Amino acid sequence: MSNILEVNKVVKQYGDYVALNEVSLTVPKGSIYGLLGPNGAGKTSLIRIINQITLPDSGEIILDGEKLQPKHVQYIGYLPEERGLYNTMKVGEQCLYLAQMKGLSKAEAKKQLEYWFDRLEIQGWWNKKIQELSKGMAQKIQFVVCVLHKPKLLIFDEPFSGFDPVNATIIKDEILALREEGATIIFSTHRMESVEELCDHIALIHKSNKLIEGKLDDVKRQFKANSFEVGILSDNVEGLMYAITQKFTVGPANFKSLNNELKLEIQLGNATPNELLNILTQRGQVTHFVEKIPSVNDIFIQTVTQ
Protein backbone atom coordinates (compact mmCIF):
# COMPACT_ATOMS: atom_id res chain seq x y z
CA MET A 1 0.00 0.00 0.00
CA SER A 2 1.73 3.11 -1.12
CA ASN A 3 -0.95 5.60 -0.19
CA ILE A 4 -1.52 6.49 3.44
CA LEU A 5 -4.75 8.33 2.70
CA GLU A 6 -7.30 8.16 -0.04
CA VAL A 7 -10.27 10.48 -0.14
CA ASN A 8 -12.94 9.32 -2.55
CA LYS A 9 -15.64 11.68 -3.79
CA VAL A 10 -16.34 13.23 -0.42
CA VAL A 11 -19.37 15.52 -0.23
CA LYS A 12 -20.19 17.72 2.74
CA GLN A 13 -23.11 20.10 2.93
CA TYR A 14 -24.09 22.56 5.64
CA GLY A 15 -27.71 23.30 5.00
CA ASP A 16 -27.77 24.62 1.45
CA TYR A 17 -24.10 25.41 1.41
CA VAL A 18 -21.84 22.84 -0.27
CA ALA A 19 -18.51 22.82 1.52
CA LEU A 20 -16.98 19.92 -0.38
CA ASN A 21 -18.17 18.81 -3.78
CA GLU A 22 -17.00 15.28 -4.61
CA VAL A 23 -13.44 15.94 -3.57
CA SER A 24 -10.94 13.12 -4.10
CA LEU A 25 -7.34 13.14 -2.93
CA THR A 26 -4.52 10.63 -2.84
CA VAL A 27 -1.76 11.18 -0.31
CA PRO A 28 1.29 8.93 -0.87
CA LYS A 29 3.11 7.47 2.11
CA GLY A 30 6.09 9.50 3.24
CA SER A 31 5.14 12.62 1.36
CA ILE A 32 4.73 16.17 2.55
CA TYR A 33 1.44 17.06 1.02
CA GLY A 34 0.45 20.67 0.66
CA LEU A 35 -3.28 21.30 0.85
CA LEU A 36 -3.84 24.72 -0.64
CA GLY A 37 -6.78 26.93 -1.25
CA PRO A 38 -8.12 30.37 -0.48
CA ASN A 39 -10.07 31.08 2.70
CA GLY A 40 -13.38 29.28 2.77
CA ALA A 41 -12.42 26.82 0.04
CA GLY A 42 -13.29 23.79 2.16
CA LYS A 43 -9.85 22.81 3.48
CA THR A 44 -10.87 22.85 7.13
CA SER A 45 -14.04 20.91 6.38
CA LEU A 46 -11.96 18.24 4.67
CA ILE A 47 -9.42 18.11 7.49
CA ARG A 48 -12.21 17.79 10.05
CA ILE A 49 -13.67 14.89 8.11
CA ILE A 50 -10.30 13.13 7.99
CA ASN A 51 -10.05 13.66 11.76
CA GLN A 52 -13.55 12.24 12.22
CA ILE A 53 -14.69 15.45 13.87
CA THR A 54 -17.50 15.61 11.34
CA LEU A 55 -18.84 12.97 9.03
CA PRO A 56 -19.07 13.32 5.26
CA ASP A 57 -22.52 13.25 3.68
CA SER A 58 -21.21 10.80 1.09
CA GLY A 59 -17.94 9.43 -0.16
CA GLU A 60 -15.35 7.44 1.72
CA ILE A 61 -11.97 7.83 3.31
CA ILE A 62 -9.34 5.06 3.25
CA LEU A 63 -6.56 5.35 5.80
CA ASP A 64 -3.62 3.03 5.26
CA GLY A 65 -5.75 0.56 3.35
CA GLU A 66 -8.65 0.53 5.81
CA LYS A 67 -11.91 2.37 5.80
CA LEU A 68 -11.70 5.24 8.29
CA GLN A 69 -13.03 4.18 11.70
CA PRO A 70 -12.87 5.45 15.29
CA LYS A 71 -9.69 3.55 16.21
CA HIS A 72 -7.81 5.53 13.58
CA VAL A 73 -7.71 8.66 15.71
CA GLN A 74 -4.53 7.35 17.31
CA TYR A 75 -2.79 7.15 13.94
CA ILE A 76 -3.44 10.80 13.21
CA GLY A 77 -1.85 13.83 14.79
CA TYR A 78 -3.76 17.04 14.23
CA LEU A 79 -2.68 20.60 14.81
CA PRO A 80 -5.76 22.71 14.09
CA GLU A 81 -5.64 26.28 12.94
CA GLU A 82 -7.92 27.36 15.79
CA ARG A 83 -5.90 25.97 18.61
CA GLY A 84 -5.51 26.43 22.32
CA LEU A 85 -5.01 24.59 25.56
CA TYR A 86 -6.60 24.62 28.99
CA ASN A 87 -5.40 27.90 30.44
CA THR A 88 -5.42 26.90 34.07
CA MET A 89 -4.09 23.39 33.71
CA LYS A 90 -0.43 22.59 34.18
CA VAL A 91 1.55 21.88 31.02
CA GLY A 92 2.65 18.38 32.03
CA GLU A 93 -0.78 17.21 33.21
CA GLN A 94 -2.39 18.65 30.16
CA CYS A 95 -0.05 16.86 27.77
CA LEU A 96 -0.49 13.59 29.65
CA TYR A 97 -4.25 13.94 29.46
CA LEU A 98 -4.30 14.68 25.75
CA ALA A 99 -1.82 11.86 25.04
CA GLN A 100 -3.90 9.37 27.00
CA MET A 101 -6.89 10.41 24.94
CA LYS A 102 -4.95 9.31 21.88
CA GLY A 103 -4.62 5.86 23.42
CA LEU A 104 -1.20 6.07 25.05
CA SER A 105 -0.71 4.56 28.48
CA LYS A 106 0.25 7.01 31.19
CA ALA A 107 3.80 5.65 31.48
CA GLU A 108 4.32 5.67 27.73
CA ALA A 109 2.92 9.19 27.47
CA LYS A 110 5.27 10.36 30.18
CA LYS A 111 8.28 8.81 28.48
CA GLN A 112 7.43 10.42 25.15
CA LEU A 113 6.77 13.76 26.81
CA GLU A 114 10.14 13.77 28.53
CA TYR A 115 11.78 12.94 25.21
CA TRP A 116 10.09 15.80 23.43
CA PHE A 117 10.56 18.30 26.25
CA ASP A 118 14.27 17.48 26.19
CA ARG A 119 14.44 17.72 22.45
CA LEU A 120 12.75 21.11 22.30
CA GLU A 121 14.60 22.25 25.45
CA ILE A 122 11.46 23.10 27.40
CA GLN A 123 12.00 20.82 30.41
CA GLY A 124 11.30 23.61 32.88
CA TRP A 125 7.72 24.09 31.72
CA TRP A 126 6.24 20.92 33.19
CA ASN A 127 4.61 22.60 36.17
CA LYS A 128 3.75 25.90 34.52
CA LYS A 129 0.24 26.83 33.58
CA ILE A 130 -0.52 27.74 29.98
CA GLN A 131 -1.59 31.22 31.01
CA GLU A 132 1.98 31.84 32.22
CA LEU A 133 3.45 31.02 28.80
CA SER A 134 3.78 33.23 25.76
CA LYS A 135 1.83 32.44 22.62
CA GLY A 136 4.88 30.99 20.89
CA MET A 137 5.66 28.80 23.89
CA ALA A 138 2.10 27.49 23.96
CA GLN A 139 2.42 26.71 20.25
CA LYS A 140 5.42 24.53 20.98
CA ILE A 141 3.42 22.59 23.55
CA GLN A 142 0.69 22.12 20.96
CA PHE A 143 3.19 20.79 18.52
CA VAL A 144 4.40 18.28 21.11
CA VAL A 145 0.81 17.21 21.86
CA CYS A 146 0.24 16.70 18.16
CA VAL A 147 3.24 14.41 17.57
CA LEU A 148 3.50 12.70 20.98
CA HIS A 149 1.68 9.51 20.03
CA LYS A 150 3.91 8.93 16.98
CA PRO A 151 1.13 9.25 14.42
CA LYS A 152 1.53 7.86 10.94
CA LEU A 153 -0.29 10.82 9.50
CA LEU A 154 0.26 14.36 10.69
CA ILE A 155 -2.10 17.13 9.73
CA PHE A 156 -0.85 20.65 10.27
CA ASP A 157 -3.18 23.57 9.68
CA GLU A 158 -1.08 26.73 9.40
CA PRO A 159 1.65 25.31 11.66
CA PHE A 160 3.95 28.31 11.56
CA SER A 161 1.52 31.02 12.53
CA GLY A 162 2.54 32.51 15.84
CA PHE A 163 6.17 31.38 15.69
CA ASP A 164 9.14 33.68 15.42
CA PRO A 165 11.65 32.78 12.65
CA VAL A 166 13.93 30.87 15.05
CA ASN A 167 11.14 28.68 16.40
CA ALA A 168 9.57 28.33 12.97
CA THR A 169 12.87 26.86 11.77
CA ILE A 170 13.00 24.48 14.72
CA ILE A 171 9.49 23.28 13.98
CA LYS A 172 10.24 22.99 10.29
CA ASP A 173 13.27 20.82 11.02
CA GLU A 174 11.17 18.68 13.36
CA ILE A 175 8.59 18.20 10.64
CA LEU A 176 11.29 17.08 8.22
CA ALA A 177 12.75 14.76 10.86
CA LEU A 178 9.33 13.19 11.42
CA ARG A 179 9.07 12.56 7.71
CA GLU A 180 12.47 10.86 7.80
CA GLU A 181 11.08 8.60 10.52
CA GLY A 182 8.32 7.54 8.18
CA ALA A 183 5.42 9.87 8.93
CA THR A 184 3.33 11.44 6.22
CA ILE A 185 2.50 15.08 6.58
CA ILE A 186 -0.48 16.99 5.29
CA PHE A 187 0.19 20.63 5.38
CA SER A 188 -2.49 23.26 4.98
CA THR A 189 -1.25 26.80 4.65
CA HIS A 190 -1.43 30.11 2.88
CA ARG A 191 2.32 30.63 3.07
CA MET A 192 3.44 29.66 -0.38
CA GLU A 193 7.14 29.94 0.33
CA SER A 194 6.91 27.17 2.91
CA VAL A 195 4.97 25.02 0.48
CA GLU A 196 7.68 25.62 -2.08
CA GLU A 197 10.31 24.69 0.48
CA LEU A 198 8.72 21.63 2.09
CA CYS A 199 6.06 20.00 -0.03
CA ASP A 200 6.59 17.36 -2.66
CA HIS A 201 2.89 16.94 -3.45
CA ILE A 202 0.18 19.55 -3.58
CA ALA A 203 -3.56 19.80 -4.06
CA LEU A 204 -5.52 22.95 -4.60
CA ILE A 205 -9.11 23.28 -3.48
CA HIS A 206 -11.15 26.21 -4.62
CA LYS A 207 -14.84 26.85 -4.05
CA SER A 208 -15.43 23.34 -2.69
CA ASN A 209 -13.83 21.63 -5.69
CA LYS A 210 -10.38 20.16 -6.13
CA LEU A 211 -8.76 21.84 -9.09
CA ILE A 212 -5.18 20.59 -9.05
CA GLU A 213 -3.45 17.61 -7.53
CA GLY A 214 -0.13 15.90 -8.04
CA LYS A 215 3.58 15.90 -7.47
CA LEU A 216 4.80 19.44 -7.14
CA ASP A 217 7.20 18.99 -10.08
CA ASP A 218 4.47 17.54 -12.27
CA VAL A 219 2.13 20.37 -11.45
CA LYS A 220 4.81 22.90 -12.23
CA ARG A 221 5.60 21.16 -15.49
CA GLN A 222 1.94 21.28 -16.34
CA PHE A 223 1.83 25.01 -15.63
CA LYS A 224 5.07 26.04 -17.24
CA ALA A 225 4.56 28.15 -20.32
CA ASN A 226 7.76 27.06 -22.13
CA SER A 227 9.25 30.48 -21.67
CA PHE A 228 12.86 31.42 -20.91
CA GLU A 229 14.61 34.29 -19.27
CA VAL A 230 17.50 35.44 -21.38
CA GLY A 231 20.40 37.81 -20.75
CA ILE A 232 22.49 38.78 -23.76
CA LEU A 233 25.23 41.27 -24.52
CA SER A 234 24.91 42.38 -28.13
CA ASP A 235 26.37 45.12 -30.32
CA ASN A 236 23.40 45.11 -32.60
CA VAL A 237 20.35 45.17 -30.37
CA GLU A 238 17.93 46.19 -33.11
CA GLY A 239 18.98 43.31 -35.33
CA LEU A 240 18.74 40.86 -32.47
CA MET A 241 15.31 42.05 -31.47
CA TYR A 242 14.14 41.88 -35.05
CA ALA A 243 15.37 38.32 -35.45
CA ILE A 244 13.73 36.96 -32.32
CA THR A 245 10.45 38.87 -32.53
CA GLN A 246 10.00 37.28 -35.94
CA LYS A 247 9.72 33.84 -34.35
CA PHE A 248 8.83 34.31 -30.67
CA THR A 249 6.79 36.44 -28.29
CA VAL A 250 9.19 38.64 -26.41
CA GLY A 251 8.73 40.68 -23.26
CA PRO A 252 10.98 42.44 -20.79
CA ALA A 253 12.43 40.37 -17.95
CA ASN A 254 13.68 41.30 -14.54
CA PHE A 255 16.41 39.31 -12.86
CA LYS A 256 19.51 40.17 -10.93
CA SER A 257 22.82 40.24 -12.74
CA LEU A 258 26.16 41.98 -12.61
CA ASN A 259 26.31 42.94 -16.31
CA ASN A 260 24.41 45.62 -18.06
CA GLU A 261 22.90 43.18 -20.53
CA LEU A 262 19.65 43.07 -22.37
CA LYS A 263 17.05 41.15 -20.27
CA LEU A 264 14.23 39.43 -22.07
CA GLU A 265 11.50 36.91 -21.39
CA ILE A 266 10.86 34.81 -24.44
CA GLN A 267 7.86 32.57 -25.12
CA LEU A 268 9.01 29.58 -27.12
CA GLY A 269 5.64 28.29 -28.22
CA ASN A 270 6.30 25.05 -30.05
CA ALA A 271 9.98 25.69 -30.67
CA THR A 272 12.78 24.03 -28.74
CA PRO A 273 15.24 25.93 -26.54
CA ASN A 274 18.03 25.06 -28.96
CA GLU A 275 16.37 26.95 -31.79
CA LEU A 276 16.35 30.05 -29.64
CA LEU A 277 19.89 29.50 -28.49
CA ASN A 278 21.06 29.23 -32.08
CA ILE A 279 19.68 32.63 -32.93
CA LEU A 280 21.03 34.17 -29.74
CA THR A 281 24.57 32.82 -30.00
CA GLN A 282 24.84 34.13 -33.55
CA ARG A 283 24.13 37.67 -32.44
CA GLY A 284 25.73 38.15 -29.07
CA GLN A 285 27.17 36.83 -25.85
CA VAL A 286 24.58 34.86 -23.80
CA THR A 287 25.02 35.56 -20.09
CA HIS A 288 21.77 34.10 -18.73
CA PHE A 289 19.49 31.38 -20.03
CA VAL A 290 16.98 29.92 -17.59
CA GLU A 291 13.67 28.20 -18.13
CA LYS A 292 10.97 30.09 -16.29
CA ILE A 293 9.35 27.68 -13.79
CA PRO A 294 6.08 28.87 -12.27
CA SER A 295 6.16 29.30 -8.48
CA VAL A 296 3.42 27.76 -6.35
CA ASN A 297 2.29 31.30 -5.76
CA ASP A 298 1.86 31.84 -9.50
CA ILE A 299 0.00 28.59 -9.88
CA PHE A 300 -2.25 29.42 -6.94
CA ILE A 301 -3.14 32.88 -8.17
CA GLN A 302 -3.52 31.77 -11.77
CA THR A 303 -5.88 28.92 -10.81
CA VAL A 304 -7.94 30.81 -8.30
CA THR A 305 -8.48 33.92 -10.41
CA GLN A 306 -9.35 31.99 -13.55
**Where on the chain is the footprint of another protein (CB under 8 A)?**
14-15, 48, 51-54, 70, 73-74, 76, 78, 80, 82-89, 97-98, 100-102, 142, 145
In whole angstroms, the minimum distance from the beta carbon of 106 to another protein comes to: 8
Name which of 221, 224, 163 is nearest 194 in CA terms.
Answer: 163
Q: Which amino acid is at 76?
A: I
In whole angstroms, the minimum distance from the beta carbon of 57 to another protein comes to: 10
Give the nearer residue to another protein in terms of CB position, either 41 or 49.
Answer: 49
Give the nearer residue to another protein in terms of CB position, either 48 or 283.
Answer: 48
Give the nearer residue to another protein in terms of CB position, either 132 or 193.
Answer: 132
Give the Cβ contact number of residue 155 at 10 Å. Answer: 25
Q: Which amino acid is at 128?
A: K
In whole angstroms, the minimum distance from the beta carbon of 195 to another protein comes to: 23
In whole angstroms, the minimum distance from the beta carbon of 88 to another protein comes to: 8
Give the nearer residue to another protein in terms of CB position, either 171 or 244.
Answer: 171
Name which of 226, 231, 209, 219 is nearest 298 in CA terms.
Answer: 219
Q: Helix (H, G, I), strand (E, B), or coil: what is residue 199?
A: coil
Q: Report d(CA 229, CA 292) in Å as an integer.
A: 6
In this structure, what are the phi and psi dihedrals at residue 81, rounded to the nearest 5 degrees? -70, -45
Buried b / exposed e across 213-248, counting CB within 10 Å, b at 16+?
beebeebbeebeeebbbbbbebeeeeebeeebeeeb
Give the nearer residue to another protein in terms of CB position, either 102 or 206.
Answer: 102
Order the strands of the 227-233 sheet from edge to edge. 249-252, 262-267, 227-233, 285-291
Q: Report d(CA 61, CA 25) in Å as an integer.
A: 9
In whole angstroms, the minimum distance from the beta carbon of 77 to another protein comes to: 9
Give the Cβ contact number of residue 5 at 10 Å. Answer: 23
Q: Report d(CA 216, CA 182) in Å as an integer.
A: 20
Give the nearer residue to another protein in terms of CB position, either 101 or 293.
Answer: 101
In whole angstroms, the minimum distance from the beta carbon of 232 to another protein comes to: 56
In this structure, what are the phi and psi dihedrals at residue 60, rounded to the nearest 5 degrees? -140, 160
In whole angstroms, the minimum distance from the beta carbon of 97 to another protein comes to: 6
Give the nearer residue to another protein in terms of CB position, either 6 or 81.
Answer: 81
Give the nearer residue to another protein in terms of CB position, either 87 or 302.
Answer: 87
In whole angstroms, the minimum distance from the beta carbon of 156 to another protein comes to: 13
Element (H, E) at 11: strand 3-14
